[in-house]
Amino acid sequence: MEDEGDDMPETSQMSKSPKGGDGVGTAKTALKSSRKMSRMVKNEKGRAMRLQKAAAKRERQNARQKVRETLGEKAPPKEVPRTIENTREVDATMVEPEDEEVMHDEAHDEMAAYFNRETTPKVLITMSPYAKVMTWKFCYELRKCIPNSEIFSRKGVALKKVVKQATKKEYTDLIVVHEDRKKPNGIVLCHLPEGPTAYFKINSLKFSKEIKNVGESTSHFPEVILNNFNTRLGHTVARMFACLFPHDPKFTGRRVVTLHNQRDYVFFRHHRYEFKKDGSKAALLELGPRFTLRLKWLQKGTFDTRCGEYEWVLKRHEMETSRRRFFL
Amino acid sequence: MDCLVGSANGMLKSINLVENTFKNMSVVSSLVPKRDEITTLCWSDEEQTELLSAQLDRQLKLFDSLTGNYSTLFNAHGGEGPIKGVQVVEDGNIATAVQSGLVTIWGTEGTSKLQYEAGNDLLRMRVCPTRRNYFATGGKENPLKLWDINTPDTPTFTSKNVPPNWLQLRVPIWINDLRFLNNSENVVTCTGAHQIHVYDPRSGQRRPVQELLWQEEPLTAMSTCANDKHVVAGNTRGEMALFDLRNKARMVHKFKGFAGALRSIDAHPTAPYVASCGIDRFVRVHNINTKELVKKIYCKARMNCILMRRQLSLLTTVKEEKPDRRRKKKSAEEDEGDDSHRSDSDEDKDAIWEDMGVVAEKSAAAKKIKRKVKSPPVDDDEDDDDDVIIVEPKRNK
């Protein structure tokens, strides 16, 4: 039904309806006008309904609160809302806390050298050949965020050669920022001696300057928080991220890098924190870039998309069929 | 114990398909992956109760499924690189092939009897299942060679590379896996240049008789299956498909459900099941014909090789549910039980068919009536040459 939003419903209605003449009973026109409401009337009605609903909800909550107070411990437990994370499909690869075989596997995988403190991270950051301003900006931000990292421009060298040269110069990790349409849109993260290669797509990227009330970063070694990487694949990816940062964070620097996984999206945040109120709360000051990553494939061995073996590939038609199925 | 899997950290796992569980055959903490990684497996006897496994440090181990004993046999020294093929040849001798190309025949105590030089970068060696003194080798830039055990100097058949491709570039030789086709001496290979080749040593043609290109990723594993003309192959991207090798070699269908590269595929010789494993830590069993994923078992470690037994517990349970649908070869005890089961159901069925006889005739009559209405009556037995004008769509019977 078209809305005219006018003050004279009768005239508009008469101009529209082909049959309705003025002479036909007022009951009919009254009925038609009651059915046809103007937009303002609708808005008001909607607002009234919402206020009613909120009031009813508030009443129910208060009633429940009272019941909880009066009964104390015998009160029925708080209801937990159903979320997609709550109703996640059961994944056989979820890692149990004391799984001997998984621990043995991780103790002997490619990144074990870092966790055994045999190597210190040395990161090489590079980008697509002839990259544009935005990509360079992103690389500068990454260099500020990750200690002991260096940027080299790509100059058209093949990635396999880059990997070889980096291994020779004893780098432990390689980050290649992939560019498309003059903006960074992907990251190839390769752990170097013979380690796994992961390709992530960058979803939303905000530089430090675009963030409101951003702070200045320092050069203290940051603490690394890896949240919610529960499956076996998630464990591997989390270990790859951990390998980028030095072992011993400087707690006095109060700098923290968080990689939080939720529904297969990895959120990268960089903060300085300050504990308030005798340690129960912490105030956060955001530093550095803010971006989201999504894992596209994980390959065993260094970068070799043609002949390398993939440990995990996101196949959209097969894997993205359920809203409650996640892989990290 | 339906399938046995050798994993990259050295663990031998036995998989029960009905209960969807796996059991480790050794203690996890005693393994050192760099030394113990299992590179190949093979059955060491006809009843499939004993298994030979080759480790990265060249130790050959024997697993006895009846006692659960997993013991070391001997160290297959000589040559360089991991063992790429271990098989049992005639008289109980063991043949091992190493990556540097040295193929050795060992007696059961570990004394080497014969040696062959099969060329560098050997990636696979297999023995012909029908003729136990005949084996094939192939690898990277190492063309397919067929050897007779008694002539150690030269292979009886060396294949030739395919002609250069449409850009006049030489196609690399990179044989990743090879199998002898059922009931013949033809060999089918799958290559890293995403080709499947069939060689016929008796045709006089050294080049492959059949070539099939599929996708762009290297094919890493393959298996022959119950049907003589079918072959299952998988690649590094986690795609596995069924191929028909008849005149026009083509892919029949793909199997879904994989996330990572496949390292080994093994199909049951008579039942339509194919088991596969790879580095995404899952063992999957598919039905070859209906391409449905029958079983998917998480095994916690990257897996290198899989072997499926002929006696599957999956088959016996399926047979109990649907006695009239499966006709499988099984051990003697089970056969007797199943025969009696089948005869009972047959008697019941005869009764059912007698009752249904009347109904069937009616429906045929109904069909005839329908036919008259739709088009002039066409007798299906005769050819349709006389009827020139009316073209009927073919009715599938």
Distance CA B48, CA B308 (A): 9
Residue A186: the pLDDT is 96
Q: Do the beta carbons of residue B196 and residue B242 sit within 8 Å?
A: no
Q: Using pLDDT thresholds of 50, 70 and 90, give the confidence band for residue B372.
A: low
Give mean pLDDT, residues B54-63.
92
Q: Is A125 left (phi over 0), alpha (psi -120 to 50) or beta?
A: beta
Residue B179: the pLDDT is 94
Distance CA A279, CA B119 (A): 69
Contacts of B301 (CB under 8 A, 6+ apart): A101, A105, B7, B8, B9, B11, B13, B281
Give B130-189 pLDDT, tens digit per residue: 888 889 999 999 999 999 988 878 899 999 999 999 999 999 999 999 999 988 889 999
Contacts of A226 (CB under 8 A, 6+ apart): A238, A241, A242, A259, A261
Give mean pLDDT, residues B366-376.
51
Q: What are the residues facing A295 on neighbouring strands?
A: A200
Residue in A201, A146, A155 with CA at minimum distance from that of residue A174: A146
Highest-confidence range of B44-48, B198-202, B319-323, B364-368, by mean pLDDT? Answer: B198-202
CA atoms within 13 A on the CB side of A153: 8
Q: Which domains does chain A have, with CATH numbers?
A: 35-79 (no CATH), 100-319 (3.40.50.10480)
Chain B: residues touching A (Cβ < 8 Å): 9, 11, 24, 28-29, 31-34, 192, 216-218, 220, 236-238, 256-257, 259-261, 263, 279-281, 296, 298, 300-302
Facing residue for A100 by CB, picked from B28, B217, B237:
B28
Of the residues A91, A93, A96, A105, the best mutation for testing chain B's interface (the one with the most B CB atoms within 10 Å of its CB) is: A105
List the single range of A144-153, B72-81, B82-91, B331-340 with lowest mean pLDDT: B331-340
Residue A77: the pLDDT is 79
Facing residue for A93 by CB, picked from B9, B24, B298:
B298
Give mean pLDDT, residues B65-70.
88
Facing residue for A311 by CB, picked from B192, B280, B300:
B280
Residue in B284, B254, B268 with CA at minimum distance from that of residue B225: B268
Q: Given CB atoms, is A235 within the 8 Å cutoff of chain B? A: no
Q: Using pLDDT thresholds of 50, 70 and 90, give the confidence band for residue A204.
A: very high
Q: Using pLDDT thresholds of 50, 70 and 90, give the confidence band for residue B77.
A: confident
> CB B295: neighbour CB atoms within 10 A?
20
Three-state secondary structure string covering A124-154 = EEEECCCCCHHHHHHHHHHHHHCCCEEECCC
**Residue A292 Cα, gap to closest chain B Cα (Å):** 23
Residue B342: the pLDDT is 45
Give A187-202 pLDDT, tens digit per residue: 999 999 898 999 999 9
Structure tokens at A17: 């309806």
Distance CA A204, CA A292 (A): 6
Q: Given CB atoms, is A99 within the 8 Å cutoff of chain B? A: yes
Size of interface A-B (CB pairs under 8 A): 64
Q: Using pLDDT thresholds of 50, 70 and 90, give the confidence band for residue B393.
A: low
**Residue B152 Cα, gap to closest chain A Cα (Å):** 34
Structure tokens at B71: 């013991």
Q: What are the residues facing B125 on neighbouring strands?
A: B137
CB contact under 8 A, B238 and A232: no
Facing residue for B260 by CB, picked from A306, A307, A313:
A313
Distance CA A237, CA A67 (A): 46
Residue B122 has pLDDT above 80, yes or no: yes
Structure tokens at B75: 């160290």
Residue B233: the pLDDT is 95
Highest-confidence range of A196-210, B44-58, B97-111, by mean pLDDT? Answer: A196-210
> CB B110: neighbour CB atoms within 10 A?
13
CB contact under 8 A, B24 and A101: yes
Distance CA B212, CA B225 (A): 18
Among all residues of chain A, which has the CA nearest to that of B303? A311
Residue B394: the pLDDT is 56
Residue A30: the pLDDT is 67
Residue A20 has pLDDT above 50, yes or no: no
Give mean pLDDT, residues A52-57.
96
Residue A80 has pLDDT above 50, yes or no: yes
Distance CA B233, CA B85 (A): 18
Residue B347: the pLDDT is 61
The alpha carbon torsion through B182, B185, B190, B193 (nearest 10 deg) reads: -150
Q: What are the residues facing B64 on neighbouring strands?
A: B50, B69
Q: Using pLDDT thresholds of 50, 70 and 90, give the confidence band for residue B332.
A: very low
Residue whose tokens read 């421009």: A153
Secondary structure E strands in B202-351: 210-213, 219-224, 230-235, 240-244, 250-255, 262-267, 273-278, 282-287, 293-298, 303-308
Among all residues of chain A, which has the CA nearest to that of B20? A92
Name the residue type at position B55: Q
CB contact under 8 A, A313 and B238: yes
| B342 alpha-carbon distance from chain centroid | 30
Give B283-330 pLDDT, tens digit per residue: 999 999 999 999 999 999 999 999 999 988 888 876 665 554 444 444
Residue B112: the pLDDT is 85
Listed by number, the residues of chain A in 277-296 with a beta carbon closer than 8 Å to a beta carbon of chain B are: none
**Residue A172 Cα, gap to closest chain B Cα (Å):** 20
Contacts with A311 from chain B: Cβ below 8 Å? 260-261, 279-280, 302
DSSP 8-state code for residue A251:
G
CA atoms within 13 A on the CB side of A282: 11
Q: What are the residues facing A180 on neighbouring strands?
A: A183
CB contact under 8 A, A310 and B238: yes
Give mean pLDDT, residues B214-243.
94
List the single range of A165-179, B182-196, B366-380 with lowest mean pLDDT: B366-380
Average pLDDT along chain B: 84
**Residue B260 Cα, gap to closest chain A Cα (Å):** 4
Distance CA A238, CA A266 (A): 10
Contacts with B236 from chain A: Cβ below 8 Å? 307-310
Listed by number, the residues of chain A in 293-322 with a beta carbon closer than 8 Å to a beta carbon of chain B are: 300, 306-313, 315, 318-319
Give A218-272 pLDDT, tens digit per residue: 999 999 999 999 999 999 999 999 999 999 999 999 999 999 999 999 999 999 9
Residue B286 to residues A5, A93, A312, B255, B267, Cα–Cα distance (Å): 63, 20, 19, 7, 9
Structure tokens at B11: 């663990």
Q: Do the beta carbons of residue B262 and residue B234 sit within 8 Å?
A: yes
**Residue B96 Cα, gap to closest chain A Cα (Å):** 25
Model confidence, pTM: 0.79
Q: Do the beta carbons of residue B302 and residue B8 sit within 8 Å?
A: yes
Contacts of B273 (CB under 8 A, 6+ apart): B267, B285, B286, B287, B288, B294, B308, B312, B314, B315
Residue A279: the pLDDT is 82
Q: What are the residues facing B219 on neighbouring strands?
A: B235
CB contact under 8 A, B300 and A312: no
Facing residue for B236 by CB, picked from A101, A102, A310:
A310
Q: How many helices (H) and strands (E) does chain A have?
A: 9, 10
Structure tokens at A252: 């006095």
**Residue A201 Cα, gap to closest chain B Cα (Å):** 18
CB contact under 8 A, B300 and A99: yes
Q: Do the beta carbons of residue B125 and residue B102 sit within 8 Å?
A: no
Distance CA B35, CA B28 (A): 14
Average pLDDT along chain A: 89
Distance CA B116, CA B134 (A): 13
Residue B387: the pLDDT is 46
Residue A59: the pLDDT is 95
Residue B338 has pLDDT above 50, yes or no: no
**Residue B219 Cα, gap to closest chain A Cα (Å):** 9
The alpha carbon torsion through B264, B269, B274, B278 (nearest 10 deg) reads: -10
**Residue B186 Cα, gap to closest chain A Cα (Å):** 27
Residue A2: the pLDDT is 47
| Angle between helix A100-107 and helix A232-242 axes, rounded to 10 deg | 30
Residue B200: the pLDDT is 93
Q: Given CB atoms, is A90 within the 8 Å cutoff of chain B? A: no
- Tell me whether strands A223-227 and A255-262 are parallel, antiparallel or unpaired: parallel
CB contact under 8 A, A309 and B236: yes
Among all residues of chain B, which has the CA nearest to that of A96? B300
Distance CA B9, CA B98 (A): 20
Residue B212 to residues B162, B185, B195, B233, Cα–Cα distance (Å): 12, 19, 5, 12
Q: Using pLDDT thresholds of 50, 70 and 90, give the confidence band for residue B339.
A: very low
Name the residue type at position B359: V
Q: Using pLDDT thresholds of 50, 70 and 90, give the confidence band for residue B79.
A: confident
Query: Cα-flanking dihedrals φ and ψ of residue B261, to 5°?
Result: -65, 150
**Residue B89 Cα, gap to closest chain A Cα (Å):** 32
Structure tokens at A271: 């903060």
CB contact under 8 A, A318 and B257: yes
